[in-house]
Amino acid sequence: MEENISLDEGIKSSQNNPYDIKARDAWSLLKIMAEFVQGYEKMSHIGPCVSIFGSARIPSHEKYYCLAEKIAFLLSKKGFGIITGGGPGIMEAANKGARKGSGTSVGVNIRLPFEAHGNAYIDPDRCLLFDHFFVRKVMFVRYSQGFIVMPGGFGTLDELFEAITLIQTHKVARFPILLVGTDFWSGLFQWIRESLLSMKNVSEEDLKLFHIVDTPQEVLEHIEDFYKENAFKKIF
């Protein structure tokens, strides 16, 4: 009779045998499936939410930290939960704003060597931890009614362009994507127009899939206007 072993033990055992590729792949697949199951179970009852993205490196005294906190506060007062990547910086600010507004505060964390813990403003029962970025991004898209994108780095850009691509290719239903900070995002938008659009790699219609805004009030207006004409639903 075979001995029962845990998922982590199975993965570790397969990794110790570099020649057992099938076993290693099978255990990895099981772990990926387990992450999806965990995410779906915890996220399936959170209600309408907005995801807020941005740099983990922005300190609490910086203007975009304060903007993210205010945006999350106003959205939570309108009945939206807030989903973030669960880390410091902009993510912490958004979860903090949700907490102040008595809204649902979700942290979809990724296991990284330099970001070991979720921030202190995530609801204890809404703190998830993932090993795989692609599983984590599914949670953002599946359970969000909109994306608010603050200044950030490669990770923020990755999340932004994946969302735009999914909408552009009709893989998901359209939802609001708002980039906060003209001074930060205008250079990227200009490059998209002058390089991508001029070479016809994107269309004019594609440029309408997102909007650049500057104030919490503009964010709220865009979200509310969109959902005056569209019902809340899972994006896919």
Q: What confidence category does residue 113 fall into, taking pLDDT thresholds of 50, 70 and 90?
A: confident
Give every strand in the sheet of 127-130, ordered side by side.
Answer: 127-130, 105-110, 81-84, 49-53, 147-149, 177-180, 211-213
57-86: average pLDDT: 97
Which pLDDT score is estimated for 2?
46
Examine the pLDDT at 231 and tell me if it is beyond 90. no
Q: How far lies 123's CA from each of 96, 102, 164, in Å?
A: 10, 10, 29
Examine the pLDDT at 17 and tell me if it is beyond 80. no
Examine the pLDDT at 218 and tell me if it is beyond 90. yes
Q: What confidence category does residue 236 fall into, taking pLDDT thresholds of 50, 70 and 90?
A: very low
E strands within the chain? 49-53, 81-84, 105-110, 127-130, 147-149, 177-180, 211-213
**Dihedrals φ, ψ of 31, to 5°?**
-65, -40
How far apart, in whole angstroms, are the C-alpha atoms of residue 110 and residue 116?
A: 9
Longest CA span, the chain: 66
Give per-residue pLDDT as tens, 95-109: 999 999 999 999 999
- State the chain's mean pLDDT as an integer: 90
Stated length of the chain: 236
Which pLDDT score is estimated for 96?
98
Please report, in angstroms and rounded to a whole number, the separation of the first and last CA atoms in the chain.
43
For residue 104, give both structure tokens.
Answer: 């649902």
How far apart, in whole angstroms, are the C-alpha atoms of residue 50 and residue 94?
A: 10
- In SS3 terms, 64-92 reads as HHHHHHHHHHHHHHCCCEEEECCCCCHHH
* Domains of the chain: residue spans and CATH: 1-44 (no CATH), 48-229 (3.40.50.450)
**Dihedrals φ, ψ of 105, to 5°?**
-125, 105
Q: What confidence category does residue 232 fall into, taking pLDDT thresholds of 50, 70 and 90?
A: low
Burial of 162 (0-12, 13-18, 19+ CB in 10 A): middle
Sign for the pseudo-dihedral over CA of 177, 178, 184, 189: positive
Give per-residue pLDDT as tens, 138-186: 999 999 999 999 999 999 999 999 999 999 999 999 999 999 999 999 9
